[in-house]
């Protein structure tokens, strides 16, 4: 079996460039067909990449890392999924700011004995997911390390003053969430019980974020990465406000309760504290209606949206079932 050490640093960079070249050729075709607006002036191969913002845009930037045996295990995920996941999770932060993706850089660290097939699959996953969201890989770094890690920095453009900040909320604002809650945690629970490999892939809600930013209304927004409870806590942080929730209205995947029962999981825990949702949690003033009925919303935001409660002047959270205590993830 061939391994990373057999191709070396420059062989690895070449392989990455080849994958990008393939994806670039597709993009050029798309551009000719008028389907793509290129912001990349210079990609891989110089001291830095060059990107162009549109007039009146600000730059949004976020960095996210996946580390082997901390964020993923080779035993439970294919390398393609790991690569796609790294990009999707990073892009979710741009979605939560209402930014459109411009490009990304990758710092890939890996041990020399990593099988070459895994390397190729990783890169294929990264480039495919980046291309899917029109966020081309424009640069990065490769280095030896004792475990594999992928650090993605995503760059986006957002109209000046229109970015969706976390803390722009007031009492009375309605609370919404995109998609469903608990699907990621359920997939992880299935996978931990050895029933299946992890195939669930978060979808960064880029169209929804951009549509919200374009409304120009007061809108506090965050992506749900640590579970709804934790991230709602982040939204409220420092505000002295609280929230009244309607737990019965929380959107859950079809067949969620029975799937949880079969696995011996508490559905409320997975839904509220499971993490891995990467949906957008956001607020809007009560007078603001999302356009159209639920079908219209879905068209504009490219995803279903559910109203799940409202912000209150009284601090604390109300309207939720009790959860048995459990420790969250500890990095250190």
Binding site for a second copy (CB under 8 A): 4-5, 7-9, 12, 41-42, 45-53, 58-65, 67, 70-71, 93-94, 96-97, 99, 102-103, 105-107, 109-110, 112, 138-147, 149, 151, 153-156, 158, 160, 163, 165-166, 221-223, 330-332
CB distance 139 to 43 below 8 Å: yes
- Distance between CA atoms of residues 38 and 183, nearest Å: 34
User: Which residue, 248 or 332, has its beta carbon nearer to a second copy?
Assistant: 332
User: Which residue, 39 or 267, has its beta carbon nearer to a second copy?
Assistant: 39
User: Which residue, 155 or 260, has its beta carbon nearer to a second copy?
Assistant: 155
Closest CA to 116 of 268, 223, 258, 11: 11
User: Which residue, 224 or 259, has its beta carbon nearer to a second copy?
Assistant: 224
CB distance 129 to 206 below 8 Å: no
At closest approach, how far in Å is the CB of 238 from a second copy? 10
- Distance between CA atoms of residues 185 and 193, nearest Å: 12
At closest approach, how far in Å is the CB of 152 from a second copy? 9
Structure tokens at 207: 């169209």
User: Which residue, 8 or 316, has its beta carbon nearer to a second copy?
Assistant: 8
At closest approach, how far in Å is the CB of 212 from a second copy? 13
Structure tokens at 71: 């964020």
Q: On the CB side of 185, how many CA atoms lie within 13 Å of its CA?
A: 27
∠ CA 12-17-206, nearest 5°, is 115
At closest approach, how far in Å is the CB of 82 from a second copy? 15
Indicate the burial class of 101 (C-beta count within 10 angstroms; 0-12, 13-18, 19 or more): buried
At closest approach, how far in Å is the CB of 154 from a second copy? 8
CB distance 125 to 80 below 8 Å: yes
User: Which residue, 13 or 298, has its beta carbon nearer to a second copy?
Assistant: 13
At closest approach, how far in Å is the CB of 173 from a second copy? 18
- Distance between CA atoms of residues 150 and 137, nearest Å: 13
User: Which residue, 225 or 312, has its beta carbon nearer to a second copy?
Assistant: 225
User: Which residue, 6 or 192, has its beta carbon nearer to a second copy?
Assistant: 6
Closest CA to 170 of 231, 224, 217, 227: 217
**Residues near 211 by beta carbon (within 8 Å), at least 6 away in sequence:** 300, 301, 302
CB distance 212 to 228 below 8 Å: no
**Residues near 57 by beta carbon (within 8 Å), at least 6 away in sequence:** 157, 158, 159, 160
At closest approach, how far in Å is the CB of 332 from a second copy? 4
At closest approach, how far in Å is the CB of 184 from a second copy? 17
């Amino acid at each position: 079996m061939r391994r990373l050490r057999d191709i070396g640093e420059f062989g690895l960079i070449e392989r990455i460039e080849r994958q990008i070249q393939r994806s670039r050729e597709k993009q050029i075709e798309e551009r000719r067909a008028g389907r793509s607006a290129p912001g990349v002036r210079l990609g891989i191969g110089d001291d830095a990449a060059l990107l162009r913002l549109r007039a009146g845009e600000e730059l949004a930037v976020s960095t996210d890392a996946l580390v082997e045996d901390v964020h993923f295990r080779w035993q439970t995920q294919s390398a393609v999924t790991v690569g796609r996941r790294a990009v999707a999770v990073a892009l979710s932060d741009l979605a939560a700011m209402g930014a459109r993706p411009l490009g990304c850089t990758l710092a890939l660290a890996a041990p020399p004995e990593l099988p070459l097939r895994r390397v190729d699959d990783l890169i294929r996953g990264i480039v495919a997911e980046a291309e899917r969201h029109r966020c081309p890989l424009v640069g990065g770094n490769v280095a030896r390390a004792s475990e594999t890690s992928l650090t993605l920095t995503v760059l986006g453009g957002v109209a000046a003053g229109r970015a969706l900040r976390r803390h722009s909320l007031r009492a009375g604002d309605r609370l919404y969430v995109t998609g469903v809650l608990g699907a990621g945690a359920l997939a992880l629970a299935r996978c931990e019980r050895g029933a299946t490999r992890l195939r669930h892939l978060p979808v960064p809600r880029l169209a929804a974020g951009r549509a919200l930013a374009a409304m120009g209304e007061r809108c506090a927004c965050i992506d749900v990465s640590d579970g709804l409870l934790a991230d709602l806590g982040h939204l409220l942080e420092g505000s002295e406000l609280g929230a009244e929730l309607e737990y019965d209205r929380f959107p859950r995947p079809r067949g969620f309760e029975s799937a949880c029962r079969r696995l011996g999981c508490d559905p409320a825990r997975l839904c509220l504290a499971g993490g891995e949702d990467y949906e957008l949690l956001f607020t809007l003033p009560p007078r603001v209606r999302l356009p159209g009925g639920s079908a219209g919303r879905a068209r504009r935001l490219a995803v279903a949206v559910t109203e799940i409660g409202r912000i209150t002047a009284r601090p604390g959270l109300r309207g939720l079932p009790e959860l048995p205590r459990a420790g969250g993830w500890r990095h250190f």
